[in-house]
Amino acid sequence: MPRLLIVSNRLPVTVKAEDGAVSVAPSTGGLATGMSGPHERLGGLWIGWPGDLTGLSADGRAEVERRLAELRLAPVALSPEEVARYYEGYSNGVLWPLFHYSVARLPQEVRDFDVYEAVNARFADAVAAHHRPGDLVWIHDYQLMLVPRLLRERIPDARIGFFLHIPFPSSEIFRVLPQRERILEGLLGADLVGFHTATYLRHFASSVLRLLGAATEVDRIPWGEREVRLGVFPMGIDAAQLAELAETPEVRAVAHAHRVPGEQLLVGVDRLDYSKGIPRRLLAFEAMLRAHPELRERVRLVQVAVPSRENVEAYREYRDEVDALVGRIHGEFATPAWSPIHYLYRGLSQAEIVALYRAADAVLVTPLRDGMNLVAKEFVASRPDGDGVLVLSELAGAAAELAEALLVNPYDVQQTAAAFHRALTLPEEERRTRMAALRQRVFGYDVHAWTRAFLARLERVGTPGEALALSPPQAVRSLVERARAAPRLALLLDYDGTLVPFAPTPELAAPDGALLDLLRRLAARPRTQVDVVSGRTRGTLQRWLGALPVGLHAEHGFWSRAPGGEWQGAEVPAVAWREPVLAVLREFAERTPGSVVEEKTVGVAWHYRTADPEYAAAQAKELTLDLRTLLANVPVEILPGDKVIEVRPQGIHKGRAVTAAIGRAGPEALVVALGDDRTDEDLFAALPPGSAAVHVGPGPSRAPLRIADFRAARALLSDIADAR
């Protein structure tokens, strides 16, 4: 098994200095529990911030570093200012509310991204310093979303996984973020990006499509010369450990003490965070007491609110809101012998929490938005008696798995109140049936299964040959030298995606001055012939490039023109299919706003680059199916391209241009062809032996050489043009 490098914001330990002595104690929590096994078994390192050590003496810090090294923990030192700006400022002041759909809580001006980026670079440096060939790198959560790309820049062949523990918001929410493209590009540095639910995966893929233009293919995103895999890995808990704890005499005794004869118990356990929905839960509890007076003095809510980010103003205001609600409900309903709410503003030990779970008639997990919410699973694991009811927000990631819970919309206070009442009155047989199904799922996919599933997938996607790698610089340099030394040189160049970037509409892809100058220099080079081979119409190529001393081939070789000569067309085949196809394309253009139909001499095309990306992609699939049905047994080709679907007669393809170009250049010429899409494969296939084919960008190709994009293509051609 390969070695594992775990990367998270915090190390899984708590460092304390008391009475001059330093202690390093293991932390509790889902990530620390889940990763402890792989950390030990795979003999790797855990890289993260150890906490604030500024108050320690030099000897104290040395002792901490020694203890951390013994535990194979590698600290990343952060100053108090960096923590304030990177962690509190950007991570929790910007990313946290945005990813939890609390857009109104964003600051008026988004700041501190520069520090977030600098700290992420520090983490990437730390990983690179410890990395060995063959290691697996697993990066965790929203504080480190730039690390995958930064690490990829430092170690191009690293095997990198990333897991997001919070929700990924819809693209309409995510696009609010000023640094949205930078965050997406950071995550796409990974080989595997994991999410709790399929919904979060879809939201991420939608954002990548809408903001970066990269479409998802089932569970992967072609990105540059690589493929980034996406996966759904719902995080579990250490169910067996909790079940064992729930059966201890101490926990059973405390649970029994919580039970009051004649009184039912509701329990909520949350961090005091605005995403957890505590105020709406309290309002629902209040609404239930109003609607069902018979429950007064017969039901009690124990609400544990663990302090969180107390130095952040928004959290202090939130605490005041919760305190006020608890006080109001007490004032209206409490009696000298009964309090409706037992409110605990502090953390409890795991044993105390499990005792509450075991005592509860129902546990209320009603966040307004949550990545997973492990409290729901902890409650299920803590009920070896097989009883109890889980009331669960449908906006928590756990709802995608725990369908047997009573699911509620936490924004609907009356519906939530009704669910609370139903939980208290559910027949025992139904309670036990629901709990049995929940326990089977929670125990069947625990935290250890979660880590195994992610790491097994990361190992597979990281194997050689899965990515379409760029050719090494020396291979490209060798081609340049070969072209420079050739007695004659014939260049066959695709246009869109090869010489220019793709434009929103075909008309906006006109050549810039730098490209025109490059083509002139190439054509002026001794014993060099330049031909541009494009799917564009002859009118467009004539208007853009007609003044240059280069050969032009339009509509995939149907029309050809020698430098300064007249256009010559191929024999026009029978096109009885043309009008029916145009009718279909026009129908799809009408119902897909932003798409357009392009008519050529014999071919037709439907462009959808400026349409809504997700809707247009679905329409493109439907159109392709319709065309295949319509054109069955018709001698035409249906060519899906980059945001375009083209229909052309068979035999009309870019390979036709090779014969014309070689006829002018002579058989002794070295032919070098550059192209980026499916239509250029016909060009590559028609090249004579000894020629050179270069694929530009991602995607499969028969070309032996691969470069990144149109910029790399221009650089290669410029190196050839500048030969002396």
CB atoms within 10 A of CB 173: 18
Q: Are 11 and 216 in contact (CB under 8 A)?
A: no
Tokens (6 digits) for 37: 């096994």
Q: How far apart are CA 47 and CA 162, in angstroms?
A: 14
Phi and psi (nearest 5°) for 605? -145, 150
Starting at the edge strand found earlier in the chain, the sheet holding 692-696 runs 568-569, 559-561, 551-554, 528-533, 489-493, 670-675, 692-696, 705-707
Of the candidates 671, 677, 636, 646, the one whose C-alpha atom is nearest the C-alpha of residue 657 is 671
Q: Are 280 and 413 in contact (CB under 8 A)?
A: yes
Token pair 């855990």 is found at 46
**208-211 long-range contacts, CB within 8 A, separation 24+:** 208/184, 209/613, 209/614, 209/617, 210/171, 210/175, 210/613, 210/614, 211/171, 211/174, 211/175, 211/180, 211/181, 211/184
Q: How far apart are CA 686 and CA 667, in angstroms?
A: 14
Q: How many residues in the chain?
A: 724
Look up residue 369 and give its amino acid: R
Residues 6+ apart with CB under 8 A from 585: 597, 604, 605, 606, 623
Residues 6+ apart with CB under 8 A from 412: none
Catalytically active residues are 494
Token pair 């119409």 is found at 537
Of the candidates 636, 640, 605, the one whose C-alpha atom is nearest the C-alpha of residue 621 is 640
Q: How far apart are CA 219 and CA 43, in angstroms?
A: 30
- Compute and round to an integer the Cα radius of gyration of the chain: 32
In the 8-state DSSP scheme, what is residue 465?
T
* One-letter-per-residue 3-state SS of 82-139: HHHHHHHHHHHHHHHHHHCCCHHHCCCCCCCHHHHHHHHHHHHHHHHHHCCCCCEEEE
Q: How far apart are CA 724 and CA 714, in angstroms?
A: 18
- 116-128 residues labelled b (16+ CB within 10 A) or e (exposed): bbebbbbbbebbe
Residues 6+ apart with CB under 8 A from 496: 502, 503, 509, 534, 535, 536, 642, 676
Q: How far apart are CA 720 and CA 724, in angstroms?
A: 9
Q: How far apart are CA 407 and CA 396, in angstroms?
A: 10
Decide the pairing of beta strands 551-554 and 559-561. Answer: antiparallel
Tokens (6 digits) for 23: 């202690």
**Half-sphere exposure of residue 522: CA atoms within 13 angstroms, side-chain side:** 28
* One-letter-per-residue 3-state SS of 29-43: CHHHHHHHHHHHHCC
Q: How far apart are CA 373 and CA 400, in angstroms?
A: 11
